[in-house]
Amino acid sequence: MLPQSVKEQLLNQRAVVIWLTGLSGSGKSTLALSLQKELFSRGYLSQVMDGDLIRSGLNKDLGFSLPDRLENIRRIAETTKLFLNCGIICINSFITPTRKIRKSIQDIIGKENMIEIYLSASLEFCEKRDIKGLYKKTRNGEIKNFTGITSPFEAPVDRDIEVDSEILSIEESVAKCLPIILERIKYEVKHSSVQ
């Protein structure tokens, strides 16, 4: 099997996992797609994965109980690890509600391979947006185990970047994240000292 470094050399980029976490409606998917577009314009290859995409295919057999959430994230992390090995930048947009779940991701992928971005929009803000109508369904008793209302969300304490999407526009959010991301994905040829 070819090592990751050879694939990174071919793609002229360092592979990293950009993991966006936050409540439903905080703007994770919008930021993920905007980051992908910006990176593509600079010549970087990335793959976006989000909850709707994964739960409609790979994880369509899973519900929202805690064991199912853990298995959902485990599968996502293992899939992400495969992309990482191919030298591809992964932009993952998942609620990832608890510290235990986020720790399990780091155990699989490696904390050194990740940039964690926390979208810190409040529950009130996300519920007002309610783009998918999920908060309304939860309040009406149609959805159980919904993060932020009937299931806990623990804000990450060791995040790399915090984006307050209540205040920042999408352009400002991208601008805040970009310097750290570009520094991590920049490919530099290491010269051998062997003569």
Domain residue spans in the chain?
Answer: 4-122+153-185
User: Which one has a higher pLDDT value, 140 or 73?
Assistant: 73
Instruction: Please tell me the least confidently modeled range out of 13-17, 32-36, 140-144.
Output: 140-144
pLDDT recorded at residue 194? 43
Tokens, residue 87: 């030298």
Q: Is the dihedral of CA 23, 41, 114, 50 positive or negative?
A: positive
Question: Is pLDDT of 172 > 90?
Answer: yes
User: Alpha-carbon distance 164 to 179, whole Å?
Assistant: 17
Q: What percentage of the chain exceeds 70 in pLDDT? A: 96
170-185 and 28-41 are packed helices; what angle lies between their axes, rounded to 10 degrees?
50
Helix/strand/coil (H/E/C) assignment for every residue in 101-123: HHHHHHHHHCHHHEEEEEECCCH
Q: For the residues 89-111, what does the mean pLDDT come to? A: 93
pLDDT tens column, 22-49: 999 999 999 999 999 999 999 999 999 9
pLDDT recorded at residue 143? 80
pLDDT recorded at residue 192? 44
CATH class of the region 4-122+153-185 = alpha beta
Q: Residue 6 belongs to what H/E stretch?
A: helix 4-11
Question: Is pLDDT of 122 > 50?
Answer: yes
pLDDT recorded at residue 193? 44
